[in-house]
Amino acid sequence: MSTHPLDPALLDRAAAWAAQDPDRHTAAQLVQLCDRVRSGEPGATAELADRFATNLAFGTAGLRAELGPGPNRMNSMVVRRTAAGIGRFLLNTAAGAYRPRAVIGFDARHNSERFAHESAAVLTAAGIEVQLLPAPLPTPVLAWAVRALEAEAGIMVTASHNPAADNGYKVYTGARAETGWGRGAQIVSPVDAAIAAQINHDEPIRDIVLAADGWEVLPGAAAPDSIEERYLDAIAAVVPEPGVRADAQSEALIAARESLRIVLTPLHGVGGHTMAQALGRAGFSRVRLVPEQQDPDPDFPTVAFPNPEEPGALDLALALAQQTDADLVIANDPDADRCAAAVKFPLTGWRMLRGDEVGWLLGERMAARAAPGAVLANSIVSSRMLAAIASSHSLEHHNTLTGFKWISRVPSLSFGYEEALGYCVAPALVRDKDGMSAGLLLADYAAELKATGSSLPEVLDELALKHGLHATDQLSVRVADLGLLSTMMQSLRTAPPSALGGEAVTEFEDLSLGATLPPTDGLLFGTVNNTRVIVRPSGTEPKLKCYLEVIAPVATASDVPAARATAAAQLERIKNELAALLRG
Catalytic site positions: 160
List CB contacts of 233: < 8 A, sequence separation 6 or more: none
Tally helices (H) and strands (E) across the chain.
Answer: 18, 22
Q: How many CA atoms lie within 13 A of 138 on its CB side?
A: 33
Between helix 385-392 and helix 355-368 the angle, nearest 10°, is 10
As a three-state string, the secondary structure of 36-84 is HHHCCCCCHHHHHHHHCCCCCCCECCEEEEEECCCCCCECHHHHHHHHH
Q: What number of other Cβ atoms are within 10 A of residue 243's Cβ?
A: 12
Torsion angle in degrees (nearest 10) through CA of 314, 318, 320, 326: 130
C-beta of residue 83 within 8 angstroms of C-beta of residue 559? no
d(CA 565, CA 574): 14
Output the CA–CA distances (angstroms, integers) from residue 485 to 46, 60, 72, 476, 489, in the order listed: 20, 16, 19, 11, 6
d(CA 52, CA 71): 6
C-beta of residue 117 within 8 angstroms of C-beta of residue 111? no
Farthest-apart Cα atoms in the chain, separation: 80
DSSP 393: T
Name the amino acid, one letter, at 506. Answer: T
Torsion angle in degrees (nearest 10) through CA of 174, 180, 182, 187: -60
DSSP 338: B
